[in-house]
Amino acid sequence: MTLQYLGQNLSRPDAFDKITGAATYLDDIRLPGLLHMAVLLPEDAHAILRSIDVTEAKKCPGVVQVVIGRDCPSRHGIDFRDRQPLAVDRVRHAGEPVAAVIAEDVRQARLAAHKIRVIPMDEWQWRMEQSLFTRRLARKSIPPAGIIFPEPTLLIIRC
């Protein structure tokens, strides 16, 4: 192993283009028919989704498609394919996407994403409707800790 570059001044091949503003970045590329996407993030780190209203977002100019979690049946993950690209029924962590808007322009996608109405259900109300806690806890008005992943995890072993 030779150390011919150690301690040497090296010039970057793209340095001149970058400092003069002539470099081409990803945002500079415009392809015909290129669509842009904006993702709607939830306000809460943990919430049960009562409904997601996308009717106003679909009416916005330039919007091609509005996608929610129920529209994405695929799952992904490194070791276990148990994660969905968009939240379905509940938000499990801060930053978990709730909906995505695909439009002809970034600005149009972002404006439409702001028009999506996400109506979360109160955890306490959800548990009351599902009758998941005992009368003793209900009398004391102490909500139990919520279950983050209620569905079973599929174990997929890759060989």
Q: CATH no. for residue 71?
A: 3.90.1170.50
Tally of domains in the chain:
1
Q: Which of 3-17, 28-42, 93-107, 129-143 has the lowest mean pLDDT?
A: 129-143
The whole-number average pLDDT for the span 80-105 is 88
In the prediction, which pLDDT does 133 show?
47
- The whole domain housing 106 covers 34-139
Check: CB of residue 116 under 8 Å from CB of residue 53: yes
Average pLDDT (42-46) is: 81
Mean of pLDDT values over 38-59: 89
Q: Does the residue 21 lie in any domain?
A: no
Query: Within a domain: residue 44?
Result: yes
Q: Would you say residue 148 lies in a domain?
A: no
> Lowest mean pLDDT: which of 72-76, 109-113, 138-142?
138-142
Report, as an integer, the average pLDDT of 117-136: 64
In a domain, 126, yes or no: yes
79 belongs to a structural domain = yes
* Percent of the chain clearing pLDDT 70 (strictly above): 75
End-to-end C-alpha distance for the chain, whole angstroms: 35
Rounded to two decimals, the pTM is 0.66
